[in-house]
Amino acid sequence: MKGVGFFRSIQMKFVLTYVLLILFAMQVISVYFVNSLEEKFVTNFKTSLQERVNLLEYNLREEMLKERNDESNTLEQDIRGILEDFSARDITEVRIVDERSRIIGTSDANNQGVVGQRMTEIAIKRALSAGATENNMFIDDRTGQRVWVLTSPILSNSEVIGAVYLIGDIETVFSQLDDINEILFSAAILALAITAILGITLARTITRPITDMRRQAVALGKGNFSRKVKVYGQDEIGELAVTFNNLTKRLQESQATTEGERRKLSSVLSHMTDGVIATDRRGRVILINEPASKMLNVSRETIISQPIVSLLNLEEDYSFDELLNEQDSVILDYSTHDRPYILRANFSVIQKETGFVNGLITVLHDITEQEKIEIERREFVTNVSHELRTPLTTMRSYLEALADGAWQDPDIAPNFLDVAQTETERMIRLVNDLLQLSKFDSREYNLTKKDTDFIEFFNKIIDRFEMTKSQEVTFRRKLPRYPIYVTIDQDKLTQVIDNIISNALKYSPEGGLVSFKVEEHGDTIQISVSDQGMGIPKKSLERIFERFYRVDRARSRKMGGTGLGLAIAKELIGAHDGHIWAKSVEGKGTTIFFTLPADLSEEDDWV
């Protein structure tokens, strides 16, 4: 989980809110204070100048009504003297105008040239004509500063005898206000800094437990239940911290219980020989164990979220809703031409107590071997019945003929008895082979093994067949000229080699060649017997060691075979820890191979 930055933390939000509230309050107070102070300063400035103008008007009225002679000063001189005493720091200029709008005096010593000139300002005209007093504030174009202009009439018995035109320097008032604003701004900055520090300190006392709980929540999300939230007080946040610690403990206990159950379930699913598939309520796969993925030859990662009807190739036969209601097992046949493969699927619905369907559990059983055993059992019964029925039917026919009087015919009777004897011996061989295979199946046979020079042993068997063979068949031996010792049951292995050589002779044509070969391969020897007979089709090559299997049933039965010889040979070679197989080319012959463990170490020379 990504950490929360300081500027996005609750601490920053708390401090920012606190500072903004203080700033807003200070702003409101400052605006109200500055506006009130400005209004007060301006009012005092105007009142002060108005009072001084009233006093000036009184003095001017006395001078303007005073009678003058040739020896007395002129009106302009007297007014100039009054204005010199009237000059002040807040007053830029004062002009005195008579009733004819002529300037008769100015307080600006550098601007005495305007005396005698007429003023055309509208305010002067209003003051002289109507006796109106006006004051205005504007920006001086020359200095760019604010000035206050007061126009006041000079009255004598309600008659206007002149006017006062005063230009006040009100910029000094606003300069004082600017100084006060700077002081207020500096104080506000200082107050905000102190407020921010206090806010951060206060926020930490509140947000520290919350931060600890956030860290604990992150640790819980990662599965770490060892952390505890520190309790800083007994307030609501302290109670929340205590509750959070209790919740952590409960979660740890629940997680341990859940993990234990999960491990049990995982162990059960992993060690089950049956495949298990679980789906959600829409029929999509959410779980599959290893045996199931192997049975279906799929990857667990790729089939998650796939529909189960698609996974089991049941789209044409079932829908998911039909599988929910399926009570019987469903047979899944994935057999190919070369390999049988059959599964049985049992379905179980996952339901809540309310009946709501949460999903489906499918259990897969591999019943291929059971089906193969059942098929082999049926074939075995069929083959045994057929093998016994054929000689019994023949014997019954011949015995019935003998019973009907054929025994008295000296030409026919011996042939009938010979056939009956041959079929009887064939049935005896068949029963003996079946009994021997039965012992192999039940492991009720014992091998009497002893060390044997296999080369000498093999040569003796070949010599016996070479002496008794009736066909014109050539034997060729490729055997080592030194002894090779093996630990074998000579009787059982003689039976195996007899069967292999007998088959080679049966299927060899006149003038054919039977080859015998022994080769060393590591700690084993490989024995092979080859003929030049008709050969075995490739599709039948792997089945010739099955019980009762015949490539050509008619010819095999005619030659007296039971179809069990190679099956017995396979069992006996396996009992000697060896392996047997065949190679063949149709029309060119067949080679039977088998291996035996051998002691190929050189013998020590003893003196």
Q: Give a yes or no: residue 366 inside a domain.
A: no
Domain membership flag for residue 188: no
Say if residue 276 is in the same domain as residue 336. Answer: yes
* Domain membership of residue 290 as a residue range: 272-360
Q: Is residue 1 part of a domain?
A: no
Which phi and psi (to 5°) does residue 280 adopt? -85, -175
- Are 296 and 160 within one domain? no
461 with 564, same domain: the answer is yes
Angle at 190 between CA 188 and CA 191, to 5 degrees: 60
Tokens 């506000």 appear where? 188
Query: Beta 91-98 vs 103-106: how paired, if at all?
Result: antiparallel
Cα dihedral value 41, 46, 52, 57, nearest 10? 180
Residue 457 counted as domain residue: yes
pLDDT at 548: 67
Top-confidence residue, 410 or 453: 453
Tens digits of per-residue pLDDT, 174-204?
Answer: 888 888 888 888 888 888 888 778 777 777 7
* Residue 72 CB-half CA count within 13 A: 9
Q: What is the pLDDT of residues 518-573, one digit of tens each?
A: 999 888 999 999 998 888 888 777 778 776 666 655 444 444 455 677 887 888 88
Structure tokens at 146: 């604010």
pLDDT at 496: 87
How confident is residue 595, by pLDDT bands cut at 50, 70 and 90?
very high
Of 306 and 336, the one with more pLDDT: 306
Alpha carbon separation from 69 to 66, 75, 160 (Å, rounded)? 10, 11, 24
On the question of pLDDT at 383 being above 70, the answer is: no
407 compared with 139, residue with greater pLDDT: 139
- Strands 580-585 and 589-597, by their bridges, are antiparallel
Confidence band, pLDDT 50/70/90 cuts, at residue 287 = confident
Do 552 and 497 belong together in one domain?
Answer: yes
* CATH number reported for the structural domain that contains residue 341 in this entry: 3.30.450.20
pLDDT value for 261: 79
In-domain check, residue 414: yes
Selection from 17-26, 423-432, 492-501 with the highest mean pLDDT: 492-501
Whether residue 356 sits in one domain with residue 380: no
Asked if residue 97 has pLDDT above 50, the reply is yes
Residue 203 located in a structural domain: no
With a pLDDT cut of 70, the percent of the chain lying above it is 86
Q: Is the full-model pTM beyond 0.75? A: no
Least confident of 204-218, 468-482, 485-499: 204-218
In a domain, 249, yes or no: no
More confident residue, 319 or 440: 319
Is 432 in the same domain as 454? no
Neighbouring C-alpha atoms within 13 Å toward the C-beta of 1:
13
Secondary structure (3-state) at 525: strand
Residues 6 or more apart whose CB falls under 8 angstroms from that of 343 comprise: 275, 295, 331, 332, 334, 364, 365, 366, 367, 368
Nearest to 562 by CA among 552, 550, 572: 550
* Average pLDDT for 170-174: 83
Beta strand pairing call for 357-366 and 275-279: antiparallel
pLDDT at 477: 92
What pLDDT sits at residue 99?
A: 85
Structure tokens at 364: 């897969």
**pLDDT value at residue 361:** 87
Angle between helical axes of 171-221 and 10-65 (0-180°, round to 10): 170
Q: How far apart are CA 278 and CA 266, in angstroms?
A: 13
Q: How many domains does the chain have?
A: 4
Residue 63 has pLDDT above 70, yes or no: yes
Shared domain for 19 and 154, answered yes or no, is yes
User: How confident is the model over 49-62, as pLDDT tens digits?
Assistant: 888 888 888 888 88
The C-alpha atoms of residue 100 and residue 111 are separated, in whole angstroms, by 20
More confident residue, 87 or 607: 87
- Say if CB 42 and CB 170 are below 8 A apart: yes
pLDDT for 479 = 93
**Predicted confidence (pLDDT) at residue 1 exceeds the cutoff of 50:** no
Q: Which residue has the tokens 């003297």?
A: 81
Could you tell me if 436 and 301 lie in one domain?
no
> Which H/E stretch holds residue 95?
strand 91-98
Residues 129 and 112 in one domain: yes
